Chains A and B, each alone.
Chain A
Amino acid sequence: MHDKSVAELARELESGKISSVELTRQFLGHLKQEDEQLNSFITITEDQALADAHAADEQRAAGKATPWTGVPFAHKDIFCTNGVATTCGSKMLANFVPPYDATVTENFRKAGAVCLGKTNMDEFAMGSSTESSHFGATTNPWGLGKGEKRVPGGSSGGSAAAVAARLVPAATATDTGGSIRQPSALCGVTGLKPTYGRVSRYGMIAFASSLDQGGTMARTAEDNALMLNVMAGFDPRDSTSLDRPVPDYTATLDEPLKGLRIGLPREYFAGDLNGAVEEEVRSAIREYEKLGATVKEVSLPHANLAIAAYYVIAPAEASANLSRFDGARYGYRCADPKDLLDMYTRTRAEGFGAEVKRRILVGTYALSAGYFDAYYLKAQKVRRLIQQDFIDAFREVDVLMSPTTPSPAFKQGEKSDDPVTMYLEDVFTVAINLAGIPAMSVPAGFVDGLPVGLQIIGDYFSEARLLNAAHQFQQVTDWHQREPQ
């Protein structure tokens, strides 16, 4: 059963071949056994999952089932779950059990889905390898066959590894600079970062508020559509969520791609891009041509500035967003503080890991007197130039395609000592967050037995089109069905 997609599991449950309780038991058994190697979960909520499965079976018996009723899945440990530890991968929140749900959490609860637990992540979503988690690194299931410990990407590496290893058919994730797409690519799963404002951020622990967006991860595009159907929508508790209609994202999956205009940004096929990765991506694009799409080269002239702008704006916002972790009201407090300043400085020194502290300090510096104009304001201006590049490109084409990452999954420890090298993992993904547009990563081949991701970028609110393009590709390829050994 653990090989099946969300859509397939829903059909099994609907047919009555299996109950949600049985399904959940099977998944939990598999998960507990397999995750010892992967460490993709921080918390497994066995009792709660079984209780929810039981309730789901009753709901189904009462004729009130949704496509999600009784289907197991997992939440990234950044979404607040009422009564269940929500750590954000940090010592700071290791003991934090929120008495409230994130809107995303609430939506899945209402749909009757069965959450098996909370997945591992880079601390406060700051990272590209899921090595900075207080709860230990997650291992990419794809290297294990060769006896290698490779990173699953990050920050949503736990979700990506869990979906790739068939521990869950789907998992929620978040993406501030590539944290859905990059791990999706490195683990060979399908992930979608929606348009900024499409999914509520309420109860999703903030990293950089103007960039953060909750999204989906599953093996198929269809399952991503099913997830987005639950997650998307206006939330009066999030001032930045947008009040516009949510389509049924599964309704347009089967539309033909004939006439789809694909743009290939010249700047995303350059630089340190691994040649074998490029070859796999170009071959995927040829599949699209076979499906009737047309391809042309386009330019995003300010693409080379995206990393720089991102690494000012994201740390600046983070430096303020993370001020609330002060030891006063919840979370970690240092032992025996001698006065208030001591409580603040030791709580934050001990509670945050090295990368989080680096980003807070960089962000504080970028906002401080004398540097604000040169860093923060300048980065915001560059952000507009980057957005304008995309607006101009979408006048010519319907979607943009590129590699998701410059190279496949790297080995654990390979980049963790050098923040800047790690940052360059995001070279093809951060601009999308700066602009606020949606993008996906779709499995598109292998290099040395490691998955390669194709990034599909769309205009604002074009999630349905992206999912359609990904789904059609998955009808003629089987990269997304490959299973790590």
Chain B
Amino acid sequence: MQWDIVIGLEIHVQLATRTKIFSGSSTAYGAEPNTQANAVDLAMPGTLPVPNEQAFRYAVMFGLAVNAEIERRSVFERKNYFYPDLPKGYQTTQLERPIVGPGYVDIDLASGDTKRVRIHHAHLEEDAGKSLHEDFHGMTGIDLNRAGTPLIEVVTEPDMANADEAVACARKLHGIVTSLGICDGDMSQGSMRFDVNISLKPKGSETLGTRTETKNLNSFRFMEQAIAHEVERQMDILEEGGTIVQETRLYNGDRDESRSMRTKEEANDYRYFPCPDLLPVEIDDAFIDEARNSLPELPDARKTRFKEQYGLNDYDAGLLASDSKLAAFFEATAERGKDAKLASNWVQGEFSARLNAEEKSVADSPISGAQLGDLVVRIADNTISSAGAKKVFEALWSGENDNVDAIIDAKGLKQVSDTGELEKMVDEVLASMPDQVAQYQQESDPKKQKKMLGGFMGPLMKASKGQGNPKLFNEILVKKLGG
């Protein structure tokens, strides 16, 4: 049987405010346990919430960035359940009147097409603390520093039909929130947490199947794997005539496994009701206009600009524009390096590969865009070969030296580009290889001739101790052999 895959996303975005959503406690990451949990965060008796204006500003900015309606009068509700990381015994969230109404994002597909994914809504809520299950004599340790950190939960419509689309949508939203500067986007630290809702239905059917929710996807790669895994699991069940159980599943990326999570509240009856400690929040035009005016350049606009300003193709522009930090890095590289296409290749190639290999984000990069730009300059003006360039990159990355030209000098990577000197070497090598020269000259197929040129390159590089400019060698060879 053929199946249609139906995927929706729920994304928790930790807002990069200085303080919590309902208290003046700091949200700085990495503090000692419970040193940023104060009376309100600990739900001490008699304490009351006072909402953070910046959280609303950030939520409105997000809403504007996804072309959504902003709810002028939003309301907070209490979602009741008991868990030790939830001090009040309820989470303050928004159900009936979320701050961000329906909107959409357009995602680029590998085929070159774009697809619109609808945003159902996004609401403001408070994060929970953390439970540490390490050994405390069989007890669980609770750190409430994170309790009360503002979140927006973004809920998409089930508009995605495969893992590629889901990941593209996730990347798109990641690019939007980081470009807006409302979230640091660090998935490994939980700043952005993606849950994937997946269901299958017989191809062409109108009726949605039973969905599952997969959690704990702390990288895009895991997200892709988890979707593939879950689709396969559901398909196996359905094809054997089984039924899907609506449940939450926890994905383990290292083992590529998932398991059903026991629900926190067996009966799952959250008893939502309007929080009587908070009044309705009214957002007026001035607030929205101010947020709109403070919007930075977003990935879509940036992509268009990259195409125009740097002459990049659609794919390269889209990729570099998607992440604000990568985009800024690229722009620094291109500004210094002049050759934008070369800058784009190095940022997407060596640089990104290295970040991935070391699981680093752009912010953690040991080299700056300007440094990479200096390297691009030296590649473009033929001072170094691409092989030499990789050695320079290595030295920059390892911190051996931070100056490109100094590294070139120290490592003797400068190419010989003096044509007189190079011609002399070519003459000597050709003279030592008469058979090959004759073969070349008898060959009528230019393609084969081109291939045969490679045979001279090795001895030439050897003669120049690796410092001859290969491009110039090539030109001289063609001229001498052809003449």
Contacts and interface: CB of A to CB of B under 8 A. Distances in A.
Contacts of B279: 239-240
Interface in A304-345: 316-317, 319-320, 323-326, 328-330, 340, 344
A204 B46 CA distance: 5
A376 B273 contact: yes
Contact of A326 (B44, B80, B89): B89
A434 to B, nearest CB: 12
Interface of A: 79-80, 86, 88, 93, 96, 98, 100, 102, 201-206, 208-210, 236-240, 316-317, 319-320, 323-326, 328-330, 340, 344, 364, 367-369, 372, 376
A146 to B, nearest CB: 39
B43 A238 contact: no
A320 B77 CA distance: 11
B209 interface: no
Contact of B49 (A96, A239, A316, A329): A239
B88 A205 contact: no
Contacts of B276: 208-210, 240, 317
A294 to B, nearest CB: 37
B278 interface: yes
29 contacts: A80-B46, A86-B45, A93-B45, A96-B45, A98-B45, A100-B39, A102-B46, A201-B48, A205-B46, A208-B276, A237-B48, A237-B50, A238-B50, A239-B49, A239-B278, A240-B278, A319-B80, A319-B271, A320-B89, A324-B88, A324-B89, A326-B84, A330-B42, A367-B271, A367-B273, A368-B271, A369-B269, A372-B271, A376-B273
B190 interface: no
Interface string B269-295: 101110011110000000000000000
A201 B276 CA distance: 12
Contacts of A369: 269, 271
A141 to B, nearest CB: 29
B84 A324 contact: no
B44 A100 contact: yes
Contacts of A237: 48, 50
B90 interface: yes
B82 interface: yes
Contacts of A79: 46
A346 to B, nearest CB: 13
Contacts of A205: 45-46
B87, B269, B273 — most chain A CB neighbours (10 Å): B273
B45 A88 contact: yes
Given A201-B46, A205-B45, 9 more contacts: A98-B46, A202-B48, A203-B47, A206-B277, A238-B50, A324-B87, A326-B82, A326-B89, A328-B142
B43 A324 contact: yes
B78 interface: yes
Contacts of A208: 276
Nearest to B46: A203
A132 to B, nearest CB: 18
A79, A102, A319 — most chain B CB neighbours (10 Å): A319
B278 A324 contact: no
Contacts of A323: 80, 82, 88-90
Contacts of B48: 201-202, 237-240
Contacts of A100: 39, 44
Interface string B11-44: 0000000000000000000000000000100111
B51 interface: yes
Which secondary structure characterizes the binding site on chain A?
A: loop
A206 B84 contact: no
A320 B90 contact: yes
Given A328-B87, A368-B269, A240 B277 contact: yes
4 residue pairs, one from A and one from B, having the closest CB atoms: A323-B89, A209-B276, A367-B271, A210-B276
Nearest to A376: B273
A368 B81 CA distance: 12
A210, A317, A319, A329 — most chain B CB neighbours (10 Å): A329
Nearest to B37: A329
Contacts of B82: 323, 326, 344
A326 B44 CA distance: 11
B44 A98 contact: yes
Contact of B84 (A96, A204, A340): A340
Interface of B: 39, 42-51, 78, 80, 82, 84, 87-90, 140, 142, 269, 271-273, 276-279
Contact of B50 (A203, A236, A330): A236
A202 B50 CA distance: 11
A283 B75 CA distance: 48
A86 B273 CA distance: 28
Contacts of A325: 45
Contacts of B42: 329-330
B74 to A, nearest CB: 14
B85 to A, nearest CB: 10
Contacts of A324: 43, 45, 87-89
Contacts of B278: 239-240
Given A239-B51, A324-B89, A368-B269, A80 B84 contact: no
Contacts of B51: 239
A372 to B, nearest CB: 8
A369 B277 CA distance: 22
Contacts of B90: 320, 323
A206 B51 CA distance: 19
A41 B42 CA distance: 28
Contacts of A319: 80, 271
A330 B44 contact: yes
A323 B277 CA distance: 15
Contacts of B87: 324, 328-329
B273 A320 contact: yes
A320 B43 contact: no
Nearest to B78: A320
Contacts of B78: 320
Contacts of B44: 80, 98, 100, 329-330
B138 to A, nearest CB: 10
Nearest to B89: A323
Contacts of A88: 45
Contacts of B142: 328
A205 B48 CA distance: 10
A316 B42 CA distance: 22
A239 B273 contact: no
A86 B46 CA distance: 11
A419 B310 CA distance: 78
A320 B88 CA distance: 8
B137 to A, nearest CB: 13
B45 A328 contact: no
Contacts of B269: 368-369
Contacts of A368: 269, 271
A206 B276 CA distance: 11
B142 to A, nearest CB: 7
Nearest to B45: A205
Nearest to A330: B44
A43 to B, nearest CB: 16
A319 B87 CA distance: 15
B273 A328 contact: no
A340 B271 CA distance: 21
A325 B46 CA distance: 12
A206 B273 contact: no
B448 to A, nearest CB: 76
